[in-house]
Structure 1
Amino acid sequence: MTEEQNQPTGSVPAQEGEVRAVGERRGMFGTKGSGDTSGYGGLVQPIVYPGSAERPFGGWFDEVADALEQRLGADGLETAVERVVVHRGEITFHVRRDDLAAVARHLRDDERLRFEFCSSVSGVNYPADTGRELHAVYHLLSMTHNRRIRLEVSVPDSDPHVPSLVATYPTADWHEREAWDMFGIVFDGHPALTRILMPDDWPGHPQRKDYPLGGIPVEYKGGSVPPPDERRSYN
């Protein structure tokens, strides 16, 4: 089955927004302060993020955006959605942190929307996006209408707090715990925000871009394995 056949009728967007550059990345992973073991140390790439899309978004994207806009407007939340991004055939609603919980409830409960299921919560770290270094991305599915969208909220590294959506989407429970463990995003109101992958006393959050790459020695039953950048010499 082709990608077009797999999509609901009218789901292909008409256009995508412009991109915005916020800096450049050196090496494959942009790591600093530790040895580059990737072999791509000389690689230099611009850091580019998708920009806001303009109407019409195309297909059912406009139906969802219209329904959400009307519902939020009726509750006095006209500024809840900061911008809408259409990129690579997917639509993302960037939402203000304080309004995230209200937007999620409307997306779940409105008959025109019915995004009943949160399939995943992703953490992202953009160190070059000043004041918005940490992003929490919620992947939502409407089983009623066979549609998928994303909610994205951005917070500064100095204040990494995001309202938990476990009360609205119980499936977000362990996903938010993983995002806390790996990225340090604090989900306020979560019933048990503890580490899920790393030991409770582990320092830092390993999937942040500024985390040392291969600089942590690991012990196995008394034996010590040196970090990758100390195992052999690289030219």
Structure 2
Amino acid sequence: MHPLAESVQAKFPQAVVSVYEWRGDVALTIARAQVHEVCRYLRDDSKMDFDYMVHVSSVDWPDDEERFEVVWEVYSIRHRHRIRIKTRVPEQDCYVDSMVDIWRGAEFMEREVFDMMGIRFKNHPDLRRILMPDEYDEGWPLRKDFPLQGKGWRDTFDFLKEGTS
């Protein structure tokens, strides 16, 4: 097992759901209830020192009980190592703790995940739409069950009509 994963596993044995390593990249799936605590440890522990938020994203697994996966990728500039933290979120209880209080750089990226997938970030300082119009209320565009043809209003654009130049 990768030394980073071993350290997290030793500190939080009940929180680590799974560890995946491939070509030196490490991904830990953490129980949703402990993900904030684990992330704080990753930033604050001097051997970890993950001081840079690289990316926040999400994955939609529509056939799974815990439909969504939220992914934070962080990097340590001093130690030159990275880790990917994942947690699963059920559709009917679609929230996870925000990491903005740990990594300020997560703010806009968490807003994008909210805007596109509908996953709410608890304690986020400004959770509102960032890509879609404020009044948009027709679903979550990156969910796999979002209709490809739209919900009607997009079909009325002139450039979509046959023979329009």
TM value normalised by structure 2 = 0.89
Q: Mean alpha-carbon deviation: is it higher for 210-219 or for 113-122?
A: 210-219
User: Which amino acid is 1:121 matched to?
Assistant: V
Map 1:201-212 to 2 at 5 A. Answer: 201-202=135-136, 203-212=138-147
RMSD between superposed Cα atoms in Å: 2.1
Indicate the structure with greater helix content: 2
1:8-66 Cα deviation digits (max 9, x unpaired): xxxxxxxxxxxxxxxxxxxxxxxxxxxxxxxxxxxxxxxxxxxxxxxxx3xxxx21122
Alignment partner of 1:104 out of 20, 35, 39:
39
Q: Between the two proteins, what is the percent identity of the paired residues?
A: 35
Map 1:119-130 to 2 at 5 A. Answer: 119-129=54-64
Which secondary structure does the structure 2 equivalent of 1:215 belong to?
coil
Residue 133 of structure 1 deviates from its aligned partner by 0.6
**Gap runs ≥5 in structure 2:** none
> Runs of at least 4 residues of structure 1 off by over 6 A?
none
Tell me the residue number matched to 1:68.
8
Alignment partner of 1:133 out of 67, 70, 93:
67
Larger radius of gyration: 1
Residue 162 of structure 1 deviates from its aligned partner by 0.2
Matched, 1:162 2:96: yes
TM value normalised by structure 1 = 0.64
**Gap runs ≥5 in structure 1:** 1-56, 73-77
Alignment partner of 1:176 out of 110, 130, 142:
110
Residue 226 of structure 1 deviates from its aligned partner by 7.1
User: Which amino acid is 2:154 matched to?
Assistant: V
Map 1:11-26 to 2 at 5 A. Answer: none
Distance 1:88 1:181 in 2: 32
Which secondary structure does the structure 2 equivalent of 1:181 belong to?
helix
Residue 91 of structure 1 deviates from its aligned partner by 1.5
1:160-203 Cα deviation digits (max 9, x unpaired): 11000100011000000000000000100001100000012211
Aligned residue-pair number: 161
